[in-house]
Amino acid sequence: MLKLLKYFKPIEWLMIVLTVGLVVLQVELTLTIPEYLEDIIALIGQSATSGEIWKVGGIMIGLAACEVVVIIAINYLTSHVGAGLARTIRRKVFGQVEDFSMQEISKFSTSSLITRCTNDISQIQMIITMCLRMLITAPIMGIGAIFKIFNKSKELSLATMVAIFVLIILIITVNIIVVPKFKLLQKSTDDLNMITRENLSGLKVIRAFNTEDIQEEKFDKINKRNANLNIFVNRVMSLLFPGMNMIMNLLTLCIVWIGSILVNKGTLEIGILLSFSQYAMHVLFSFLMLSMMFIMIPRAMVSAGRINEVIATPIIIKSSTTTSTKTNNGTIKFDNVSFAYPKSQENVLDKIDFEAKPGEIVAFIGSTGSGKSTLINLIPRFFDATEGNVLVDGVNVKDYKLSSLRNKIGYVPQKTLLFSGTIRDNLLDSNPNATEEEMWKALEIAQAKEFVQNLEGGLDFVLSQGATNVSGGQKQRLSIARAIIRHPEILIFDDSFSALDYKTDQLLRTTLAKELNHITTLIVGQRIGTIMNADKIIVLDEGKIVGMGTHKELMKNCPIYQEIAYSQLSKEELENA
């Protein structure tokens, strides 16, 4: 939590200092008002004129007006500070994540990063604004009020102390009983969510197996437990409010009661009897506020910790200096490359050695977990090799300026990711200088021209978030067009043809081979049909290259390749191919 405080800007620190000053003023005002009540009471005792009372009353109204102005000013400052801190932290976390490579992302998972950047920060904003007000006000008010009462009467102060003590015991006891249950409660809510989700996602299976009763029974069990737990926790919690109320009421009674004895002895003014209970309430409230803070701060700490974790994650992949203009002959060379995830003993890739010459098509195949995707992710430096070197155009990728390296590459990811906005915007993201003509050309190569023409607005058709308003195959073709339009030296397809039907897949590959034969192309594929015609096929198994060559060669000498091939196509089909 404290670590996040360093994100306050100087002006915000100034505001905080100003807030503290204003709070002191506010407390002074709040605590002075009851003293004038004493004066009025005293005036009554002296049978003064109503004019004198009006005078005192006028001062009180003036003070109350000042007080409200000061409080509004405090509120103004704290609102700024809270929202400002949230803005700074949000920017910091977002910027940090934008700098992350896949390596750091994989440490967190995307959905967790999203929650950290949204909910957790909202949480912090709320608590900072509240804390600023309460955390500053409570101690000052408490101390101020205690000063006032100690001056007035030792005995009554003692009674107040006892009340505070009882109040704290009440809060602590309730918390001791309830806090451990909160975790259970959270779990029970999660369970409820889980079983409902399960019932809904398994709808068909449940009906097909006639197991509605079993599921309902399971739900009932969790639901009952949830209700009982809630009843218990809420019943204990609901002790708090009436309990606090009783303590305050009894304290007021004690003050009057004990006060009457003191007045009788002549050691206390009757006016103080009235003002004292107000001061005592201020003291009690300060303690209440503080104890509430102690309940809320730990919750904020969880959020703060999660945010800090993101900010504190070092960025491993840093840009270097070599810039290089695009040429028309991209070469790629893997020189004894190994890769392992941090803290993992096992290599995902082991001593990979190969070369792709300008204009060559190199394909990768292997079962899931064989390291195909990881391998091609090393080229745009989404990850860095742990051993060996990856060279693009003869230069180690680690020596490039990142944007310069990535500018050479047209990358088509496995999961098609398009931005909300027009198709034109998405293409311009890749190449800001693309002309209308170039766009249509790229779409044509990607087999997307026809359907884009049929969309309302053509290039200006607006894609929704996640591009849910076009089909999976269409998305993939758009994503391919985006890669083509930047005129890359190197094209990388990370299993990018899977959403296409066989016909389009084939058509696309033929056009690519014809139109872009100067571009070095890397393809990761699952279907033999997709990769069969590559210049070089590399077969991966458990991170190692177990075969390299053309389809014909591999069919002869690579057993794993044969196994994959036969599982997809029959013998005669393969031979006919």
- Considering only residues 541 to 570 of the shown chain, the ones binding other proteins according to CB under 8 A are 563-564, 567-570
CB 514 within 8 Å of CB 434: no
Asked if 267 interacts with other proteins (CB under 8 A), we say no
C-alpha separations of 515 from 364, 441, 484, 492, 518 in Å: 22, 10, 11, 16, 8
To 10 degrees, the CA torsion angle through 63, 64, 69, 75?
130
One symbol per residue from 374 to 413: x for binding other proteins (CB under 8 A), - otherwise; what is it?
------x-x-------------------xx--xx-x-x-x
One symbol per residue from 175 to 194: x for binding other proteins (CB under 8 A), - otherwise; what is it?
--------------x--xxx
**Strand, helix or coil for residue 490:** strand
Retrieve residue 518's tokens: 């100067």
**Strand, helix or coil for residue 175:** helix
Which span sits near other proteins by CB under 8 A: 107-115, 302-310, 436-444, 448-456? 107-115
Which span sits near other proteins by CB under 8 A: 14-22, 149-157, 363-371, 513-521? 363-371
- Please, which residue, 102 or 555, has the CB nearer to other proteins? 102
- Please, which residue, 460 or 573, has the CB nearer to other proteins? 573
Residue of 338, 506, 511, 562 that binds other proteins (CB under 8 A) = 506
Asked if 41 interacts with other proteins (CB under 8 A), we say yes
- Please, which residue, 212 or 353, has the CB nearer to other proteins? 212
Residue of 68, 169, 315, 316 that binds other proteins (CB under 8 A) = 68
Strands 387-392 and 536-541: unpaired
Residues 8-37 that bind other proteins (CB under 8 A): 33, 37
Closest CA to 5 of 94, 100, 131, 98: 131
Rounded-to-integer distance, Cα 197 and Cα 191, Å: 10
Asked if 521 interacts with other proteins (CB under 8 A), we say no
Lateral strand order in the sheet of 544-549:
409-412, 490-494, 520-524, 361-365, 536-541, 544-549
Residue of 231, 295, 302, 513 that binds other proteins (CB under 8 A) = 231
Residue of 172, 261, 295, 513 that binds other proteins (CB under 8 A) = 261
Asked if 501 interacts with other proteins (CB under 8 A), we say yes
- Please, which residue, 235 or 518, has the CB nearer to other proteins? 235
Asked if 47 interacts with other proteins (CB under 8 A), we say yes
Which span sits near other proteins by CB under 8 A: 4-12, 13-21, 62-70, 327-335? 62-70
What would you measure as the largest C-alpha separation in the chain, in angstroms? Answer: 119
**Residues 6 or more apart whose Cβ sits within 8 Å of residue 516:** 445, 484, 491
Closest CA to 269 of 153, 155, 145: 153
Give the nearest distance from C-beta 256 to other proteins in angstroms: 5
Which span sits near other proteins by CB under 8 A: 5-13, 148-156, 177-185, 249-257? 249-257
CB 475 within 8 Å of CB 467: yes
Which span sits near other proteins by CB under 8 A: 4-12, 75-83, 152-160, 327-335? 75-83
Asked if 170 interacts with other proteins (CB under 8 A), we say no
- Please, which residue, 268 or 353, has the CB nearer to other proteins? 268
| Opening angle at CA 268, ends 267 and 274, nearest 5 | 165
- Please, which residue, 94 or 461, has the CB nearer to other proteins? 94
DSSP symbol at 569: S
Residue of 2, 176, 200, 312 that binds other proteins (CB under 8 A) = 200
DSSP symbol at 541: E
Q: Is 210 left (phi over 0), alpha (psi -120 to 50) or beta?
A: left
Residue of 32, 87, 535, 549 that binds other proteins (CB under 8 A) = 87
Tokens 């599921």 found at: 215
CB 219 within 8 Å of CB 199: yes
